[in-house]
C-alpha cells in the first residue's frame, strides 16, 4: 500500500468514527458543561434548568438524567427526582446502585453508603497501526538510527499493575510490554519489557512519589540485545487550588547500549533531568500542561555528551462527552559538549514536534484514537537532519 492510499485510508476510517454533526451535539454539550459547573457550585436550580435542556435535545443521555435527578433531590422535589433517577437507571443499568441509594433515602429507608473497594489489579494498553514516512530508532529519547524510508507498522502495548498496599503509604508494582512490527523495515522492529515499582504518600497540599523501573529492549526479528535502562524518578506534586497542580521531578537514567563500541562513539550514559510541570484545569473540563526540563547526558563516548532543554505544551479539550481533542507541541534543543570525531565539529540539534489526536470513547473500557505527529529535527550536521510524519489509528483499553 503506497503512502497516499494509506494516509487516505487512515483519514477515512478516522472520519467514520469521529465526525459528528455540530448542530446535533453542540447545544447539549454546552448545556451539560454549564449544568456540571452549576451543580458543583451548589446552584441546583440553575443546574436543573441546564440538564432539562440536555434531556430535551438528547433524551437518551443517562448521565444528564442522573444529574437532573440529583438536582431535584437536593431541591427536595422528590417526585421529579424519582422520575429522573428511574429514567437514568433504565438507560444505564450501571447507575442502578447509585440511583437506589438516593431513592431509598427519599423514601425514608435505611441507607448504608459503602465506598466501593478499589481493584488491586489494573490492565491497560493499546494496539493498532501506524504509518511513518521516515522510520527512526529512538527508544531512549535519542535518535540513534534514521532510515530515510517510509513504512507501516503494527504496535502492541500492554500494562499490568498490582497495588498490594494503599494506606498509609501507597505501594504498587507494574510490568509493561511493547512490540512494533514493520511491514518491510524489519530491522527496526522493537520489543521492550519494563518492570518497576513505586510508592507514594500524601501530606496536604503535597503528594510525594518515588518510582524505579528497569527497561530491556530487543531489536529486529532476531531479538538482538539492544538497550537496558535503569530509571529512578522522585516526584512532588503541589496542589494549592483545585484548578492548579504544580509538579516537581528529577529523573536519573543509566543507559547501557549493548551494540556500542569502545571509544568516542560509545553511547552508554548516565542521564540527569530535573523538571517542572504546571497543570491548569478549566470549568469546561479542558486542561493545559506546561513543562520544562533540563537534561545532562554524560556519555562514555565523547560524541554523545550533550546538554538539552525540553519544553512542552499540551492542551486537552472535550469536543463532546465522548470525543476529546488533544494538541501538543515539544521543543527540544540539544548542544553537544565535544567536537564530533567523525564530522569534526560540535553537533547542535533543534527538534520540534507537533501532535494532534482525536479520542472517542466507545464504552467504559475502550477508546478509539486517531493521531497525527510531525517531527522536524534541524542539525548543523546534515546526516542528523530529518523530518517525519506519523499517522496512527489505535484502540486503547483499560480494565
Per-residue model confidence as pLDDT tens digits over 336-378: 999 999 999 999 999 999 999 999 999 889 999 999 999 999 9
Query: Cell 518510582 identifies what position?
Result: 211
Q: Is residue 111 part of a domain?
A: no
Range of the domain at 363: 121-398
Average pLDDT in the 116-134 region? 89
Shared domain for 275 and 231, answered yes or no, is yes
Shared domain for 87 and 133, answered yes or no, is no
Q: Is residue 1 part of a domain?
A: no
Q: Is residue 114 part of a domain?
A: no
Shared domain for 286 and 177, answered yes or no, is yes
Shared domain for 95 and 156, answered yes or no, is no
Run of H or E residues at 327: strand 323-339
Residue 244 pLDDT grade (very low, low, confident, very high; cuts 50, 70, 90): very high
User: Residue 78: which of 53, 103, 52 has the closest Cα?
Assistant: 103
- Report the range out of 217-221, 257-261, 309-313 with the highest average pLDDT: 309-313
Q: Is the pLDDT of residue 94 over 80?
A: yes
Shared domain for 70 and 182, answered yes or no, is no
Query: Cell 555528551 identifies what position?
Result: 305
Shared domain for 143 and 261, answered yes or no, is yes
Structural domains of the chain, count: 2
* Structure confidence at residue 14 (pLDDT): 53
Cell for 160? Answer: 499490568
All residues at 6 or more sequence positions from 213 whose CB lies less than 8 Å from its CB, including other chains: 194, 195, 196, 229, 230, 231
State the average pLDDT for the chain: 89
Residue-wise over 89-114: b if at least 16 C-beta within 10 A, else e?
Answer: bebbeebeebbebbbeebeeeeeeee
Q: Is the pLDDT of residue 111 over 60?
A: no
Shared domain for 256 and 173, answered yes or no, is yes
Run of H or E residues at 202: strand 190-203
Shared domain for 50 and 166, answered yes or no, is no
Q: Is residue 11 part of a domain?
A: no
* Structure confidence at residue 100 (pLDDT): 85
Shared domain for 180 and 95, answered yes or no, is no
**Among the three residues 40, 71, 106, which one is the final residue of a domain in this structure?**
106
* Structure confidence at residue 222 (pLDDT): 72
Q: Is residue 4 part of a domain?
A: no
Shared domain for 60 and 31, answered yes or no, is yes
pTM of the model: 0.74
CA distances from 138 to 14, 141, 208, 218, 358 (A): 27, 5, 30, 13, 25
* Structure confidence at residue 209 (pLDDT): 97
Amino acid at each position: 500500500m503506497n503512502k497516499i492510499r494509506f494516509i487516505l485510508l487512515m483519514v477515512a476510517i478516522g472520519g467514520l468514527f469521529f465526525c459528528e454533526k455540530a448542530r446535533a451535539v453542540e447545544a447539549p454539550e454546552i448545556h451539560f458543561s454549564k449544568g456540571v459547573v452549576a451543580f458543583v457550585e451548589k446552584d441546583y436550580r440553575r443546574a436543573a434548568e441546564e440538564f432539562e435542556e440536555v434531556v430535551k435535545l438528547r433524551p437518551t443521555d443517562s448521565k444528564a438524567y442522573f444529574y437532573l435527578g440529583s438536582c431535584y433531590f437536593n431541591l427536595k422535589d422528590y417526585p421529579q427526582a424519582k422520575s429522573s433517577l428511574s429514567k437514568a437507571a433504565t438507560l444505564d443499568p450501571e447507575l442502578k446502585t447509585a440511583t437506589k441509594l438516593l431513592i431509598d433515602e427519599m423514601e425514608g429507608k435505611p441507607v448504608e453508603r459503602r465506598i466501593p473497594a478499589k481493584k488491586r489489579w489494573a490492565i491497560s494498553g493499546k494496539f493498532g497501526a501506524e504509518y511513518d514516512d521516515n522510520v527512526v530508532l529512538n527508544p531512549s529519547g535519542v535518535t540513534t538510527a534514521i532510515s530515510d524510508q517510509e513504512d507501516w507498522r503494527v504496535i502492541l502495548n500492554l500494562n499490568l499493575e498490582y497495588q498490594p498496599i494503599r494506606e498509609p503509604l501507597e505501594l504498587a508494582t507494574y510490568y509493561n510490554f511493547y512490540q512494533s512490527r514493520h511491514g518491510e523495515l524489519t530491522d527496526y522492529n522493537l520489543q521492550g519489557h519494563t518492570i518497576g515499582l513505586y510508592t507514594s504518600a500524601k501530606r496536604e497540599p503535597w503528594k510525594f512519589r518515588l518510582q524505579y523501573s528497569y527497561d530491556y529492549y530487543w531489536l529486529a526479528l532476531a531479538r538482538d540485545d539492544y538497550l537496558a535502562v535503569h530509571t529512578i524518578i522522585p516526584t512532588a506534586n503541589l496542589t494549592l487550588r483545585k484548578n492548579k497542580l504544580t509538579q516537581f521531578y528529577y529523573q536519573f537514567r543509566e543507559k547501557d547500549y549493548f551494540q556500542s563500541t569502545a571509544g568516542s562513539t560509545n553511547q552508554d550514559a548516565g542521564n540527569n533531568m530535573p523538571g517542572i510541570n504546571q497543570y491548569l484545569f478549566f470549568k469546561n473540563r479542558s486542561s493545559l500542561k506546561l513543562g520544562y526540563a533540563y537534561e545532562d547526558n554524560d556519555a562514555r563516548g565523547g560524541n554523545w555528551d550533550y546538554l538539552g532543554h525540553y519544553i512542552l505544551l499540551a492542551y486537552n479539550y472535550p469536543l463532546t462527552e465522548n470525543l476529546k481533542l488533544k494538541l501538543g507541541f515539544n521543543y527540544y534543543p540539544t548542544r553537544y559538549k565535544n567536537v564530533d570525531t567523525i564530522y569534526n565539529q560540535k553537533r547542535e540539534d533543534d527538534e520540534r514536534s507537533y501532535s494532534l489526536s482525536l479520542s472517542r470513547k466507545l464504552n467504559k473500557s475502550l477508546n478509539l484514537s486517531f493521531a497525527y505527529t510531525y517531527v522536524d529535527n534541524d542539525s548543523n550536521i546534515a546526516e542528523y537532519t530529518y523530518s517525519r510524519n506519523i499517522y496512527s489509528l489505535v484502540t486503547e483499553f483499560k480494565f
